[in-house]
Amino acid sequence: MSEHPRTEPATPGATPATAGAAAPATATATVTATATATATGRAHAAEAARRDREDPLAGTRERFVVDAVDDPNGTVYLDGNSLGALPRGVPARMADVIEREWGRDRINSWSDNHWWTAPERIGDRVGALVGAAPGQVVVGDSTSVNVLKAVVAGVRLARGAEGAEQAGADAAQAGGRDEILVDVSTFPTDGYIAESAARLTGCALRAVPAEAVATEATPRTALALVNHVDYRTGRLHDLPGTTAALHAVGAVAVWDLCHSAGALPVDLDAHGVDLAVGCTYKYLNGGPGAPAYLYVAARHQPRFDSPLPGWNSHADPFAMAGAYAPADGAVRGRVGTPDILSMLALESALDAWQGVSVESVRAKSLDLADFFLACVASYVPAGAVETLTPVAHAERGSQVALRCADAGEVTERLLACGVVIDYRRPDVLRFGFTPLYTGYADVERAAWALGEVLSAA
């Protein structure tokens, strides 16, 4: 499908940014196209081929089920920011899980094949990619469920004693922390759940621009929920600075890493982040509906009070006790029985990262986007698109968002040309770059196809 099943409203306050090889680092303006595609021909094709030959990550493409980068009839897949490509090792691993572990070993697999400890084991592997030391990330549930856990538990942490939240009016009268901040352009589900969490904890919810969270937080702020990368525009927000500012007023920082984990260094521990959540089906290539993850900094784990205590997070789950006693460590973030099939598919998918650093992925991501913008400037008719993604590397995730009239129709026409992207209503085309399998020829061909489609419009 050209549009992700979850559709979103336009981002308030989104501003266009200049794209192109020589674009200023902070300017926001209409893309300037130097010439139409029909006038210049494939001016960047040879450069793309050279870059692919010299790419130190070129070999990792073979770890995924994607067409060869030099196949003119193959599909260009630039939608990994919605659903990552299938790692080649996953089908065989899943066949073994189903036929041997489930089929023959059956219930013994919880111990013999280590199913029971999978959430923490795989969590540590995800943690390594987001800068978290072992024992702080647990895999399981959806991002939405983990947002609820993190926000409610985060308010409880900010208020001090475990479970000490009061009704909203009482909290206000006592001068307590009675406010949750959420970035105004957040992914809708985060906003919905933050609103519900505010009701559960007696807080008011206040939406502010992500870049203003640092200055809007006050001693009344319990917590801020911020997206590390804006899902529509690809803007990268200031995680270190915002986290430090929240801590300065005694508030808790919760980060949504859905569009940054596996795309760029996050360094949760180094920046003192309190809580974080994220999905694994985008840049981590875990598969459709793959389980999400929850990060709880080690310093907070003894007081992490989940609003969803389940038998899997009990200190002695098989005692079947009537009273809840939370387990120690990251296990406290679990709820119910792990979704083993999708979890083990994710574990296999993470093998694609063997020998690859997040830093090398980030370097290629930035280079791919720069090259793509240069190609767009050459191939796309002047004034046909605007770049919403910041040009400055420090402010960019791993996607380029272009504002374009008739974005839905353009997306379908690109698909007919063998270029897979997605769009966000009403007018945003999203081109996602997953450096483990995206090549320079892919982005050059995508820009060329976009130019052809818009020239024919």
The string of pLDDT tens digits covering residues 357-385 is: 999 999 999 999 999 999 999 999 999 99
What pLDDT shows up at residue 268? 98
Task: State how far the Cα of 358 lies from the Cα of 68, in Å rounded to an integer.
Answer: 23
Separation in Å, CA 388 to CA 17, 73, 234, 236, 426:
5, 30, 8, 12, 13
Separation of CA 408 from chain center: 23
Tokens found for residue 33:
């196209």
In the predicted model, is pLDDT for residue 70 greater than 80? Answer: yes
Beta strands in 132-246 (DSSP E): 137-139, 179-183, 204-208, 221-227
Task: State how far the Cα of 396 lies from the Cα of 387, in Å rounded to an integer.
Answer: 12
In the predicted model, is pLDDT for residue 156 greater than 80? Answer: yes
In the numeric block, the tokens 């200055």 are attached to 215
In the predicted model, is pLDDT for residue 21 greater than 90? Answer: no
In the predicted model, is pLDDT for residue 27 greater than 90? Answer: no
* Active-site residue, selected from the candidate residues 51, 156, 235, 282: 282
Active-site residue flag, 52: no
In the predicted model, is pLDDT for residue 15 greater than 50? Answer: no
Query: How is residue 341 annotated by DSSP?
Result: H
What pLDDT shows up at residue 176? 86
In which band, very low, low, confident or very high, does the pLDDT at 10 lie, cut at 50, 70 and 90? very low
- How much is the mean pLDDT over the chain? 90
Burial tier of 329 (Cβ tally within 10 Å: 0-12, 13-18, 19+): middle
Burial tier of 270 (Cβ tally within 10 Å: 0-12, 13-18, 19+): exposed
Separation in Å, CA 223 to CA 153, 155, 252, 425, 444:
10, 6, 5, 30, 43
Active-site residue flag, 149: no
What pLDDT shows up at residue 53? 97
- pLDDT, one tens digit per residue, over 205-220 is 999 999 999 999 999 9
* Active-site residue, selected from the candidate residues 190, 256, 422, 427: 256
Active-site residue flag, 422: no
* Active-site residue, selected from the candidate residues 156, 396, 424, 430: 430
12-21, 101-110, 193-202, 412-421: range with lowest mean pLDDT: 12-21
Active-site residue flag, 274: no
- pLDDT, one tens digit per residue, over 403-426 is 999 999 999 999 999 999 999 999
Task: State how far the Cα of 285 lies from the Cα of 262, in Å rounded to an integer.
Answer: 9
Task: State how far the Cα of 171 lies from the Cα of 271, in Å rounded to an integer.
Answer: 30
Task: State how far the Cα of 202 lies from the Cα of 312, in Å rounded to an integer.
Answer: 28
More confident residue, 302 or 25: 302
In the predicted model, is pLDDT for residue 260 greater than 80? Answer: yes
* Active-site residue, selected from the candidate residues 64, 231, 281, 295: 281
What pLDDT shows up at residue 102? 98
CB-based contact 280:346 (threshold 8 Å): yes
Active-site residue flag, 256: yes
Rg (alpha carbons) of the chain, rounded to whole number: 23
In which band, very low, low, confident or very high, does the pLDDT at 457 lie, cut at 50, 70 and 90? confident
What does pTM read for this prediction?
A: 0.90
Separation in Å, CA 44 to CA 38, 122, 443:
13, 41, 10
What pLDDT shows up at residue 427? 98
Per the rule left: phi > 0, alpha: psi between -120 and 50, beta: everything else, 305 is beta
15-19, 40-44, 110-114, 146-150: range with lowest mean pLDDT: 15-19
CB-based contact 19:387 (threshold 8 Å): yes
Note if the bond before 219 is cis, omega within 30 degrees: no
What does the pLDDT average to over 129-137? 98
* Active-site residue, selected from the candidate residues 77, 187, 283, 379: 187
